[in-house]
Structure 1
């Protein structure tokens, strides 16, 4: 003896185990969508009907909301609702009834192009490593262009976007999409525009909605494109002929934008790292030059003639040091300017302005430190010159003495070394005197 519950449970188990997934076509009636999010309806033809249930986690993937009278095609499991003992279908997938013919056409074209080698990886182009000009072929009013621009604004707002507007569904859409691909390539060749890559696609929809991207004319236009093409048709679960022919498939238009754009935050981190390396390199260079300057100053010797020679040499080295430091600074400033320009092209302006202010502050600090260091070296040089000058023979001349030389420039040490009438010269503290000998004692 069985209870009603036991009977229904055994019947449900039998149905669940006997039937695999089946496809069923029919017309919808008694459609209901309660607040739970589940769908309940009847599927009927001219002779019979059956109850159907499609739960929320499944119907969220359907691109349209069915209504009474719609001809649909279901992929479902055969089951029994134990509570009421009702035979029903648990729907896993739902599409318009025409989708079966479209699916057959899809598979036929896919097999044809696959046999021609149109989908071979050797035909596909690599995507550019850096994109500054991007072409987008899609509807100007659809969600795809909005998603692409939103992603690019967040990741890399410096990328220029050229929209080639086309209808993405309906009669004639495929021909216009193919024409837009050809037109972008022609303009690129003629130099009218600059493009690095193309994105073609649209948002999600039913198989009929996406059919323009499953037509042969679009696939061949993509394959013939000299510009790299990223196909972004529908949602992640959608897969089109255009996806197979493109150089790269993106699950969504947003994913395509991410695929072709760098992350500006990574560029900012690289700039900060480069700036730190530059500061450390300048500091090491300054330390080495300072050590070299100290070594040179320690090699200075006296008396006066050698001091003047060394002082001149020190001045020369000082000028070379200043020139070398200036050249280093110019090179690094040039490098910083190049990086700033690159970041200006890729990053938000406020961040760049802040980095420029920081660089200017560090440069001023560096120049102040350099001037202070050079002033200290000059003060040391002056002090050493004064010490050497106090020991120089020139100090003796300042006390009224003179150095007498003959016409040959030899120092006159004895009176007998000259004769009356000889021309001699006396060097005093502030100049030289030309003399004639009138008396020799």
Structure 2
């Protein structure tokens, strides 16, 4: 706050200072408050913030809800929507505009909840999620049941009481969740997904899931009307039974579930067989089994008597088999002797053919041809060597005739200057130059005394 002096004129404020002081006064005077009204002029720019006006029949006020607050809201404002805000009173210094900074918003009244219920119901129905052909049948016997509800509510007590009476052998796993409040829908959908993961991993062999809670108002049951819960039930690989509220209460969860029960107790009866009915069924099955066993025994006795009459003495069978064995032995010996004779004849024929085609004569002819070829090769090689030597001598003579060494041997020499160039003209050197002379044997270093 600006301090006013005790004497003299008060200080002059800028517009920014004035707006800043007004904002501080408003924010320090008002704590969080709830305000209800109708939305108008709603805007949602790319920044993610929401801006709108809240009005009633006599006034309106500007509102701002920033992205870090609105991104978790289940309700998106729309023009004409009646809403209820939890907000702080403030002032936008840049324009000197009185406004509300919104922290939370929700529909105003049960009528808004009913409208939201009907919108979601119509949306899911249009997608075919309520169709009977989409829903799965419950297993014939539920041995392991997952119950998703509050651990302290009346629903879990009713379910366990009925199951203990009707089917005490059933295994029941409680997946505790909140069944009302802002976090309830997220916890319920997460519990459904978690149960499916356990089932898929083999950790808990669930046969079905029960999503349930006791009765209450529409606001109390609202978590079971959330889209996230409906989607989780539809996505579940396990059959889901929904029992939300009293018999007259119908939730979105009831509509998408594979089976709906009017109450938690009714759901427990639906999922469990009556042990008395099972005992009566077992007794009937026992009588049926005993009668069929007597029939089988009587039929087996008649078959045994018939087979005894047809049964022959094993000694007779052994004698017949021994005789049959002797016959087979004689046949085998005759077949072996015939096969040996046939094989010997074939062997003799092959030996004759092999002798007629013996390779000795051909080998000797080939050896003689190889000897002749070796002699011809040696004569050809000697003739080529003599020709090559004669040609080499002739080429050596030609080379000697053009070689400069032969010229040097007749007393001539080759002169080169200091750069190694051959001297052909006396004009190319001067007095005092040093020259090298290449002789037939050795070299000389010469100095020019004069030229002509």
Structure number with the bigger relative contact order (C-alpha 8 A, sep ≥ 6) is: 1
Greater gyration radius: 2
TM-score scaled by length of structure 2: 0.42
